Amino acid sequence: PRHVAVIMDGNGRWAKKRMLPRLAGHRAGTESVRATIRASAKLGLSALSLYVFSLENWNRPRLEVDGLMRFLGEVLRSEYLELAENNIRLRAIGRLGMLPRGTLDTLDETIGKLSGNTGMILNLCLSYGGRAEIVDAARKLAAAVQEKSFAADDLDEKSFRRFLYDPDLADPDLLIRTSGEMRLSNFFLWQLAYTEIVVTETLWPDFREENLLAAIREYLGRERRFGT
């Protein structure tokens, strides 16, 4: 696969099994993120998209959300050098304006520092929802029609893509969901039309390179069909 996307699920259950706070599960999941990025870069993937924080996650307890935002800033700062050494480019999509100012500043700074790299794209989906992306794309489309920079008669699936958060990012070939849940959780609803899906029972904090390789092997054993 060229582009792999991951729904990183199971942090809370991992922590609950150990009678730890939920944030402990998120912190434990950092090593899984690190291992997955390293393995993906080593395999030569073009892009890796991680579903980091959904729009629905804003409804979680304030203490947990604040902790997650602080933690995100810490991870960006601590992982920057390794991302740079691996020639990784960083992108982020979602309603990023909802992020706390400090977190957004750190994100923008890290993206800028890595902008000269030429390797794998690490795409962080933050404050993201698949339906929201389609709604936001429709709003941009309507504005373009109103401004007469786009003709409504020219609209098709290909032209609609230009209004998505990152129109240049290819659709995922493979989606991996951890923790055994059989749902998309409002992730990449436009992009996953023909994506192969692999679900693993492994909780995200336990996910490592061998789990990624197992999912890719399963993907390689399938016959991809587009539209049938």
Name the residue type at position 163: F
Nearest alpha-carbon partner for 175 in 167, 166, 185, 165: 185
Nearest alpha-carbon partner for 83 in 142, 27, 134, 124: 124
Measured distance CA(221)–CA(223) in Å, rounded = 7
Which residues sit opposite 7 in a β-bridge?
A: 51, 177
The yes-or-no answer on residue 11 being catalytic is no
Measured distance CA(93)–CA(91) in Å, rounded = 7
Q: Give the active site residue among 11, 57, 87, 206.
A: 57
Name the residue type at position 51: Y
Q: Give the active site residue among 9, 123, 173, 211.
A: 9
The yes-or-no answer on residue 186 being catalytic is no
Q: What are phi and psi of 218, to 5 degrees?
A: -65, -40
CA dihedral sign of residues 102, 104, 109, 110: positive
Contact 165, 126 (CB under 8 A): no
Q: What are phi and psi of 199, to 5 degrees?
A: -110, 130
- List, by residue number, the catalytic residues: 9, 57
